[in-house]
Amino acid sequence: MKKVPTPLFTLLAFVFFFSSCANYYYSPNDGDLVMLKEQHDGHISAASNLGGSDNKKVLNIQAGYSPIKHLAFAGSYFNLSDGDKTRRYGNGYILNGSIGGYYFFPIPDGNRNGIIQFNNPNLNMEKGILIDLYAGSGEGKVRNFYEEGGRSQFKFRKDYIQFGIHWIRRNWGISYNARRGRLNYSEGTIYNRLKINRSDLDKFDDLTVNNSFDLTEHSFRLHIGIKHCRYFLTITSVNETTELSNLGVENSNFNVGLILEIDAFFRNKIKKENKREF
């Protein structure tokens, strides 16, 4: 296994710390990083946060499948809670679904006739560059609890497109994607209005009226391991515009997780079905 450049580890090991003294209405979730590159590829992953506030809890689950070459479907579930439950506290989730396309450019090892050969093809990933493009939509809900005793909640929708590029080596790789999306909030409800301070009420009222926000998110991922099973580190951030800052947005998340490739299940199932036909 080749050594990963030190600056890369420095970048991906940087942990963003958050304050729990404010309420938020959005937190960036990882882009669609399912890394599908062949027909019948099926990948699932699960991640949680590392570092930051002890009160912050993140869960991010992703799944993807390619029914035919160059076509991909992906889905994800993201859940976050943050804050001191005796004072300010918030939680929320979003469920995403997307469709996209991909193209994989293999990198030859320089062997005879340019044929890619591995000493351990069942353990090593095929080297190359993967490019993908997804369009998706998500539905979610966010709830905030205030130290005075009040509570508010919103439903929201996010529509987005994203571009991703993945540099894959035998036992490690780097992924990056950029996602452009729009948030729309609806069905805002507030409880115990008299127990919420004026600044928080103004933010809620403003969000009820001005509930459309454009945002750009970025995800960086380092994954290390063998084919079919890899660990990863992911940093996801959002470009915080003035509108988003006024809304109340956590600007980044740092997660660690595990990718499982379940390609063999789909391919074995297809082989059995083909044999039955004969």
The two structure tokens encoding residue 195: 């127990």
CATH, residue 141 = 2.40.160.20
For residue 8, is it within any domain?
A: no
Number of domains in the chain: 1
The two structure tokens encoding residue 225: 């391991």
103 CB contacts (<8 Å, ≥6 apart)?
A: 70, 130, 131, 132
Greatest distance between any 2 Cα atoms in the chain: 77
Which position has the token pair 């571009």?
Answer: 163
For residue 186, is it within any domain?
A: yes
> What is the mean pLDDT of the segment spanning 131-155?
94
Lowest mean pLDDT among 156-160, 189-193, 202-206: 202-206
What do you get for the CA distance between the two ends of the chain, in Å?
44
Distances (CA, A) of 48 to 78, 106, 232: 10, 31, 11
Q: How much of the chain exceeds pLDDT 90, in percent? A: 56
For residue 145, is it within any domain?
A: yes
* CA proximity to 126, closest of 108, 112, 113, 114: 108
**What is the tens place of the pLDDT at every residue in 238-270?**
998 888 887 888 889 999 999 999 887 655 655
Q: Which domain holds residue 264?
A: 27-277
For residue 70, is it within any domain?
A: yes
For residue 11, is it within any domain?
A: no
The two structure tokens encoding residue 142: 């966010």
Do 78 and 91 touch, CB atoms closer than 8 A?
no
**What is the tens place of the pLDDT at every residue in 21-79?**
467 899 999 999 999 999 999 999 999 986 555 688 999 999 999 999 999 999 999 99
Query: In the prediction, which pLDDT does 74 show?
Result: 98
Annotate 90-151 with DSSP letters as a single string: EEEEEEEEEEEEEEEEE---S-GGG----SSTTTSPPPEEEEEEEEEEEEEEEEEE-TTS-E
Query: In the prediction, which pLDDT does 227 show?
Result: 85
Burial of 222 (C-beta count, 10 Å sphere; 0-12/13-18/19+): buried
The two structure tokens encoding residue 172: 């490690």
Query: In the prediction, which pLDDT does 12 show?
Result: 33
Lowest mean pLDDT among 43-47, 148-152, 200-204, 263-267: 263-267
Tell me: pLDDT of 156 over 80.
yes
Burial of 271 (C-beta count, 10 Å sphere; 0-12/13-18/19+): exposed
For residue 272, is it within any domain?
A: yes
**What is the tens place of the pLDDT at every residue in 85-136?**
667 889 999 999 999 999 999 988 765 555 555 556 667 888 999 999 999 9
Query: In the prediction, which pLDDT does 270 show?
Result: 55
Query: In the prediction, which pLDDT does 121 show?
Result: 63
User: What does the mean pLDDT of the chain come to?
Assistant: 84
For residue 165, is it within any domain?
A: yes
